[in-house]
Each structure stands twice: as structure tokens, then as C-alpha cells.
Amino acid sequence: MSEQGDFFAPGVAEAPLLAHMGPLADPCAEVRERFMTYGPSALDEGDTLALILSRCSIARVSAGAAADALMERFGGLGRIFGAPEPELAQVIGVPAARELGLLHGLLLRILEHPLRKREVLTSTSAVNAYLRARMGALPREVFHVLFLDKKNQLIADEQLGAGTVDHAPVYPREVARRSLEVGASSIILAHNHPSCDPTPSSADVEMTRQVVAATQVLGIKVHDHMIVAGDHVISLRALGLM
């Protein structure tokens, strides 16, 4: 656990920890009343987060203060949900961080469901939404493969590499081997750029070509390589790079 500090994304200021946020009680009564009267559209991101946190296990601090600290640390809901649990725990403690992780897991299941029920290649917006939720908030690069069946429906999404802020190791033979194991007819590659710059690097393009070569001899097609950079998702195929 001595490496926990490495989970912090570069250039993002740490929010105050629980001990410095004060013991004020915050039942979120006004926010809850507004929500019950007017619905979710009446709440901004901070209000929504505070209402969620009011149902979580947060010690010695109000839900409103915890929401403010998270918003200061991460900048928005899109980067709070999906952030690694150790990062969240630095701000709101382990129990509440775990509960937010549960909500994120539920969101991923909801977004993944349509990809298992219809052709992925005709569901670009659904794929992009899923990938943003899956890896858009991560502070380190990860490499995922979406394995598809002969109907181009999702069999599985697996992480096959994890690395640093600007590199994740990828082994083309491992991608080919795993594709055979799960019975995939085709695959989609995906990785994130924590810098939020979606521009593909020369290494991204070369790695894609190596994976294509490794899987092609097995009759497995690489449909695309998606790069997730914060709220943006780009396609190497659409850019003419594969």
C-alpha cells in the first residue's frame, strides 16, 4: 500500500482530506426537497453528488462538504465516477468510495447491456458512452479488447494491459490467444489517454498494425482501435490509420 500516492493523476490538486473538512452536519434537506418536487433536472452536478453521498457512509463530514471536495479534486461527475477507489478514498474515505464504486459498476452494466444485445458496429454512440464510462477517468493508461461474436455482438470486454500515464504494454500474441479462447470472430481495441489529448501516437498506430497482423492469420478481424481521452473517443479507422 506504500504506492497508493501514485494513483493521483498529475496536475490535479488534492482536495482537503476528511480531517480538514470539518464536522458540520448536512442532511441535504433542501436539496432532497427540491429533488422530490421537481425531479433530477432541478439539481446541478454538485447537488446530485451531495444527495448520493448523503446515502453513503461518510464519517465526520457533511455530504455537501464531501461533494465539494470531490468536485474540487476531480472537476466533475464524469471524472468522479470511474476514478480508482484509492483516489476517491483519499477524499471521502474507504466506505463511501466503495459505494461510489458500486454505483459505477452498475452504470457500466447498464451501458454494456445493449452491446450484448445488438450489433456493436451499428451502435457507435453506445460503444463510445460505454468506453468513456469504463476508462475516461483513469489516471493511468489501460488497454482493453472488446471481443465480438460472428454477429458482432459483445462476448466480453477484458483489460489486457495496464501501464503508466502515457503507456500501456500490449502483446499482440496475447490478444490473438485470448481471442481464440473466448471464441471471438472479431475484436475492437481500446485504450485511454489520461492526458485527455486524443491524438494517436506513432506507437498507437504501430501497435494496431501488429495486432492486426497477429490476428489476421487466425481469421479474426480487428474492426477498430478506439482512443478514450476524457470525454472524447476517436477511431483510428475513421482517421484512416488502419
Shared domain for 51 and 18, answered yes or no, is yes
Q: Which three cell numbers stand for residue 9?
A: 493523476
End position of a domain, from candidates 71, 105, 139: 105
Shared domain for 96 and 44, answered yes or no, is yes
Report the phi/psi class of residue 152: left, alpha or beta, with left for phi > 0 and alpha for psi in -120 to 50: left
Q: Characterize 34-46 residue by residue with b for buried, 16 or more Cβ atoms within 10 angstroms of its Cβ, and e for exposed.
A: ebeeeeeeebeeb
Shared domain for 43 and 101, answered yes or no, is yes
pLDDT digits (tens, 9 = 90+) for 110-164: 998 888 888 888 888 999 999 999 998 898 999 999 999 999 999 999 999 987 7
Q: Is residue 115 part of a domain?
A: no
Q: How many CB atoms lie within 10 A of CB 117?
A: 10
Average pLDDT over residues 51-71: 81
Give dist(CA 143, CA 154) in Å, integer: 17
pLDDT digits (tens, 9 = 90+) for 69-102: 999 898 888 889 888 999 999 999 898 999 899 9
Shared domain for 35 and 79, answered yes or no, is yes
Q: What is the overall mean pLDDT for the chain?
A: 85
Give dist(CA 69, CA 234) in Å, integer: 31
Shared domain for 79 and 28, answered yes or no, is yes
Which residues on neighbouring strands pair with residue 127, listed in sequence order?
none
Shared domain for 128 and 94, answered yes or no, is no
pLDDT bucket at 4, cuts 50 / 70 / 90: very low
Q: What pTM does this model have?
A: 0.74
Which domain, by its residues, includes 24?
A: 4-105
The alpha carbon dihedral of 37, 39, 42, 47 has a sign of: positive
Shared domain for 129 and 101, answered yes or no, is no
Q: Is residue 208 part of a domain?
A: yes
Q: How many CB atoms lie within 10 A of CB 55?
A: 11
Q: Which three cell numbers stand for residue 226?
A: 478506439
Shared domain for 177 and 204, answered yes or no, is yes
Shared domain for 130 and 205, answered yes or no, is yes
Nearest to 71 by CA among 96, 95, 97, 50: 50
Q: How many CB atoms lie within 10 A of CB 218?
A: 12
* Residue 7: per-residue pLDDT: 41
Shared domain for 158 and 210, answered yes or no, is yes
| CATH number, domain with residue 184 | 3.40.140.10
Task: Give the chain's domain count.
Answer: 2
* Residue 166: per-residue pLDDT: 67
